[in-house]
Structure 1
Amino acid sequence: MVMKLSGGGSPTLYLLPNHLAPEYDYDFTNINDNRMKFERGNFEYKCLCGWKRIALNVLDKYENNIWLGVYGRKSSISSAQNEWPVSYHGTAKHNCKSIAEEGYDLCKYKRFAFGHGIYSTPDIDVASAYATQFTHEGDRYQVVFQNRVNPNNLVRVTMKKTGVDEY
């Protein structure tokens, strides 16, 4: 999960401590990647520059952690073998707890402009357009989930079809 902060402060999302993995939190708010090309799961994705990552606890969610790319990465810009691609999903703050606890629930979604599914994009700027802004203690925030997408279930919707970017 990543948050864009406007005005500083500490976010409050009402997630339980067991949902979080603070050792993987990272502050990208003052990072400039100079438009470097990054790859995860052999797909290009856009870095989190300007955002703060608050990590959810997903280690050992499946039979192993290879899907996370935690082993064998040759450089920070390349993919590790058998890792899943990274994508981003913008949402409203009231969805955070249920997504963290239960994952994405297709039954809760109502808009399917490009077919039945949960939409995400490798470009955080595109995902942020779907993230509702909210104010907490005078500071503005947005919430975007950073996902790993199982390549066996991945359906790509082209920029030509969306008119915005690839989903």
Structure 2
Amino acid sequence: MDPALLLEALSALSGLSVQRGAGPSQLGPQDFVNIVALRQFYKQEGFAELEYPSLGSLSLREEEDPEADMYSSPPALEAPQAGHGGSGSGGSGGSVVRVNPEEFFDRRFNYDFTHVQDGERTFLRGNERYIRPCGWRRAALSVTKKYDDGSDVWLSTGATSWPVSYQGLHMDGSLGVILTRKEKQADPGFLEEAAQSLVAPRTRGRGIYSTPDVHLAEKYCKTFKSRSDGRTYKVLLQNRINPSKRQDCQRDRVWVVYVPQDHSDLQTRALVQESVRPYGLLLKLA
């Protein structure tokens, strides 16, 4: 896949103006899943902006035209605030994030599922069914040996690996309320919220949402028109989710990482980082 197209996809997902750089990338794959997840979470909580280290204030407003040119339209990233160490000014007055495709992506693990049909075949990751992204192309992210524990067991195919989940730009509490959870993981805050959801159907679970079903994720994905080839694409993130952090929702095929009410911004960001790890950027013609 054309690196320019992949950077456009990252821009569409994150709301940043992601441009090619020759040196070290200013953001890594984990930063992008953090930003996508936190954008949806804080928007659901009623906030207008997201503060992210080294970037400053990130607007949570959606653009009016979902297929608008992401570079000529006003960027979602406002000018960095004092103390945030922003990444420089772009041509339209907003900040630009530089990413080096050679280090950000890992072409060894790219895979073209465009014409793949699994039929009745069943795949497992972490003893959970893995619905492969048939019909999509995957650009693999460079994530091996990138985490503090130094282990890539989370990324393997065995019983101890983390299950696969998919994340779109519009996946939030509207997908369904939290309802069930493993007993050993229960805490008073969660149980209170779950109980409230039983009597108040509108109550949304407070957390980060994703799904193991790529077909469901596609309904909530971001769509953008590429400047590289003029075609319109759908884009998703393919992640692994920590099974000890994942909760079930009332709606089938929806998972959530529950964020306690008393969590600070720093604690919420740390929770996302220890719960959801990206490994693939998925693209499909719309």
Give the Å deviation of 1:55: 0.8
Equivalent in the alignment of 2:5: 12
Looking at structure 2, the residues matched to 23 and 40 of structure 1 have their Cα atoms a distance apart, in angstroms, of 20
Looking at structure 1, the residues matched to 114 and 152 of structure 2 have their Cα atoms a distance apart, in angstroms, of 27
Instruction: Report 1:105-116 matches (<5 A).
Output: 111-113=172-174, 114=177, 115-116=205-206
Matching residue's letter, 1:151: P
Q: Matched residue of 1:59: which SS?
A: coil
Looking at structure 2, the residues matched to 22 and 38 of structure 1 have their Cα atoms a distance apart, in angstroms, of 23
Give the Å deviation of 1:134: 1.6
Equivalent in the alignment of 2:18: none
Residue 141 of structure 2 corresponds to residue 53 of structure 1: no
Provide Cα deviations, 1:94-126, integer angstroms capped at 9, x if missing partner. Answer: xxxxxxxxxxxxxxx9x4343122211111010
Looking at structure 1, the residues matched to 243 and 145 of structure 2 have their Cα atoms a distance apart, in angstroms, of 18
Of residues 165, 169, 172, the one that matches 1:87 is 165
RMSD: 2.1
Answer whether contact 2:126 2:163 (CA < 8 A) is retained. yes
Give the Å deviation of 1:139: 1.6
Looking at structure 1, the residues matched to 120 and 254 of structure 2 have their Cα atoms a distance apart, in angstroms, of 18
Equivalent in the alignment of 2:239: 147
Residue 153 of structure 2 corresponds to residue 66 of structure 1: yes
Residue 195 of structure 2 corresponds to residue 118 of structure 1: no
Give the Å deviation of 1:151: 1.1
Larger radius of gyration: 2
Looking at structure 2, the residues matched to 52 and 87 of structure 1 have their Cα atoms a distance apart, in angstroms, of 16
Q: Matched residue of 2:210: which SS?
A: coil
Provide Cα deviations, 1:51-108, integer angstroms capped at 9, x if missing partner. Answer: 0001111101222001101xxxxxxxxx40310000111128xxxxxxxxxxxxxxxx
Answer whether contact 2:164 2:241 (CA < 8 A) is retained. yes
Equivalent in the alignment of 2:35: none
Matching residue's letter, 1:45: Y
Give the Å deviation of 1:46: 1.0
Structure with more of its chain in helix, by fraction = 2
Looking at structure 2, the residues matched to 37 and 121 of structure 1 have their Cα atoms a distance apart, in angstroms, of 17
Matching residue's letter, 2:173: F
**Relative contact order, higher structure (CA 8 A, sep 6+):** 1
Residue 34 of structure 2 corresponds to residue 34 of structure 1: no
Equivalent in the alignment of 1:72: none
Could you tell me the TM-score, scaled by structure 2's length? 0.42
**What is the percent sequence identity of the aligned residues?**
37
Give the Å deviation of 1:152: 1.5
Runs in 1 of length 4+ with deviation above 4 angstroms? none
Instruction: Give the length in aligned residue pairs.
Output: 129
